[in-house]
Amino acid sequence: MRIAVLKESRDGERRVAATPQLCAQWTKQGHVVAVESNAGIAANYTDEVYKQSGASVGSRAEVLGGANLVLRVNPPVGSEVTELPENAALISLLYHRSNPQLVADLNARKISMFSLDAIPRISRAQSMDVLSSQANLAGYKAVIKGAENLGKIFPMLMTAAGTITPAKVLIFGVGVAGLQAIATAKRLGAVVEATDVRPETKEQVESLGGKFIEVKGAEVGSEGGYAKEATEEYRQKQREAVNKSLALADLVITTALVPGRKAPILIDDEQLALMKQGSVLVDMAAEQGGNCAKTEAGKIIQINGVTLIGSTNLPSELPMNASELFAKNIDALLKLIAPKNDLQYDMNDEIVQGCLVCHEGKILLGEPVNA
């Protein structure tokens, strides 16, 4: 099988879908691997290192020529769709619920599209779960980014000049990113509180040394590994429960997302006004509209002395680790869909059913869009 690894075109993207280590592994397994020139340079993987792994390096047209499988981090845009060989397979993030026209365009070229963000969150798919591997890094980076913009240190510090009290961190959402943010903030010495719509996350928060802010009488729960969208009743009760902590927090991190939909507003204008001068809010949902009403995606702004950080691609700011984990997730998927070095489409497999968006000119997930 000929595998093509493409350079990312998204602004600011530093990740690559395959590392030289995995390219070496795939070539030993009998695959032909071709990597677009400078595909990994932003993650500190040079073309020479890819050549040493056994992969060939060339232009996009050279790499795509005769490719059976194309690997990317982000979905293709514009003319990149028509560059893909017809009847080839593509593995990348896609977010098919939000991009029906892109699905239709890929399907028109009879591309078999495996959407990494659609991998079902079941036990046997954990090694393929790109969203979790990248969210883990994002949760760490969110804390570091918040610390960089905060005018005080995290840990308590006792000096001859007096004692500095530890920073207070408040985290909305206790998924993979939220848990890593809790762990990172605690390692840095902060006092950490967290809240989530799922009451079962309380034990996880406390196991990491954080305090869980409970919203009693209006629990939401989870479905398919994701938190359900909160009701208006829950949002009101959550406001009441967290406002005291919000007013005292030095750093606030929001992580709440609803798959395929705009991010829920967790901090409205009234709550933002409660935050103290010099505090920082890192909104990890900025790209999906933001959990804070005033967040601007990709920007750092100040409102009434509060710094709002609209983070859009935190894993890309840790490109070596992010690429390594991303590539390992893809490799785990390949072991399922190409066990004998050729692509197989087992439509009875739960993982294939969950992430194969289109195949052989048929849209399997989502609704077709008229061109």
Q: Name the residues annotated as catalytic.
A: 121, 126, 129, 132, 226
Tokens linked to 143: 């804390």
What are residue 98's DSSP bridge partners?
Answer: none
Asked if residue 247 lies in contact with residue 257, where contact means CB atoms within 8 angstroms, the answer is no
CB 20 within 8 A of CB 40: yes
Q: Is the dihedral of CA 151, 154, 160, 163 positive or negative?
A: positive
Evaluate whether 55 touches 25 at the Cβ level (below 8 Å).
no
Give the closest residue to 132 by CA, choosing from 184, 177, 83.
Answer: 177
Strands 226-227 and 222-223: antiparallel
* Cα→Cα distances 132→53, 175, 182, 205, 322, Å: 28, 9, 15, 17, 11
- Amino acid at site 118: A
- Enclosing H/E stretch for 302: strand 300-303
Going by their DSSP bridges, the two strands 162-164 and 157-159 should be labelled as antiparallel
Phi-psi sector, 16: left (phi>0), alpha (psi -120 to 50), beta = beta
